[in-house]
Amino acid sequence: MKYLITGLGNIGFEYVETRHNIGFDVLDVFAAKHGLLFESDRLADKAVCKFKGRTLILIKPTTYMNLSGRAVKYWMDKEHIPVENTLTIHDELAFALDTLKIRSGGSDGGHNGLKSIQECIGTTEYAKLRFGIGNQFPKGRQVDFVLGKWKDDEIPLVNLKVEACIKIIESFASIGLSRTMNLFNHIKYQTDQDHQTS
């Protein structure tokens, strides 16, 4: 049982810890928890995790966001991983910062990484872990917002959600998409400092 877990982001120092790179950040934390090291490989930095009898191939595409699908398609084919055993982690403007959603299907929502994956694998029916980043930016400044770094007061909630993402990845690989959706999709995340109503 093999699974392909893809974290989307851009390579390069200028993109480190930006909203658009949250997929990379999630996989880095997952790798640290499981004692893994990423190594440079074809079209991606790759690490391999053994978890509950499954093999998880973790990739951070080195193609830049707009060509992420090339890496996903290559590793799906090389490792003979069916589309239902893939999970892609990405930033999501349509959701507030307190939200994580896992789902299959749906449009790319203007996300260039998802658009590339859809074009390369020929379907929108693949599991996506959508990391809400909010949309608190002035008109016309979407790119600056997405490629900007987290605000200091956002970081505790971001870290909390990253930890939740680790559990979601483990759940997806062990009990599947539907049960994982039922467990996690209703949660609104907040830190001890937050007093917002969910």
Residue 119, C-beta contacts closer than 8 angstroms, at least 6 positions apart: 69
Give the number of other Cβ atoms within 10 Å of residue 153's Cβ: 10
Length of the chain: 198
Task: Kindly name the residue from 20, 90, 186, 195 that is annotated as catalytic.
Answer: 20
Tell me the two tokens of residue 60: 């951070």
Contact 172, 160 (CB under 8 A): no
Structure-token match 């929502």, residue found? 109
Dihedral of alpha carbons 11, 88, 5, 182, sign: positive
190-193 own/partner pairs: CB under 8 Å, 24+ apart:
190/98, 190/157, 191/156, 191/157, 191/160, 193/156
Contact 122, 161 (CB under 8 A): no
Contact 59, 96 (CB under 8 A): no
Known catalytic residue: 90? no
Catalytic residues: 20
